[in-house]
Amino acid sequence: STSILEDIFLKRSQQKKKTSPLNYKERLFVLTTDKISYYDYDYEKGKKKGLKGSVDIDKIKYVATVVQEENAHPDKMFPFQVVYDEGPLYIFAKTADIRKQWIHKLKQIVTHNKDLAQKYHPCFWVDGQWLCCHQEVKQALGCRVIET
Ligand code: 4IP
Ligand code: ZN
């Protein structure tokens, strides 16, 4: 399907395994009506290389900004989260406007998803806990009601 939005963002590793490193990679994100995919990007050729991962739109539970961490690096000023059954995918936009545009579009696309969340975590999951509510289980229910 055709792409709705494309942008190069920094993303945090999802740490699907307990032993996965916490790191950040620049990826080309492509949003279509059924998937959000991210690719390795070749700056010299100005085109995308291999597919690194994707999230099916119908698995998404909510999309929201994330409260930025104190003393956040300038590259990490505008985080947003795409939460699905595997947990949160943290993405960092370069500007507030681009972040707003992606969240707006994503919310539109997921409107009719089953099992949309009613609560979320406004802050990051770091070092085995949610910075917002200090719960120590990644799957813990959100601590803030989503305003619609
Ligand atoms: C990788 O670290 C990359 O950050 C991956 O991101 C990430 O996968 C891996 O997390 C993480 O271990 P190294 O490159 O140092 O191995 P990308 O796929 O963008 O390259 P995600 O799941 O975030 O795509 P795990 O938890 O998937 O292993
Ligand atoms: Zn919380």
pLDDT digits (tens, 9 = 90+) for 74-130: 999 999 999 999 899 999 999 999 999 999 999 999 999 998 999 999 999 999 999
ipTM (interface pTM): 0.95
Residue 100: which residues within 8 A CB-CB, separation 6 or more?
A: none
Q: For residue range 25-79, what is the model confidence (pLDDT) as tens digits?
A: 999 999 999 999 999 999 899 889 999 999 999 999 999 999 998 888 999 999 9
Residues 13-26: pLDDT tens digits?
999 988 899 999 99
Spatial CA neighbour of 3 closest among 46, 45, 37, 41: 37
Cβ atoms of 126 and 116 closer than 8 Å = no
In this structure, the residues whose C-beta lies within 6 A of any atom of ligand 1 are 11, 13-17, 20-21, 23, 25, 27, 38, 52-53
Residue nearest to atom 17 of ligand 1 (CA): 52
* pLDDT attached to residue 6: 97
Question: Three-state SS for 20?
Answer: coil
Pairing of strands 5-12, 87-93: antiparallel
Separation of alpha carbons 89 and 39, rounded Å: 14
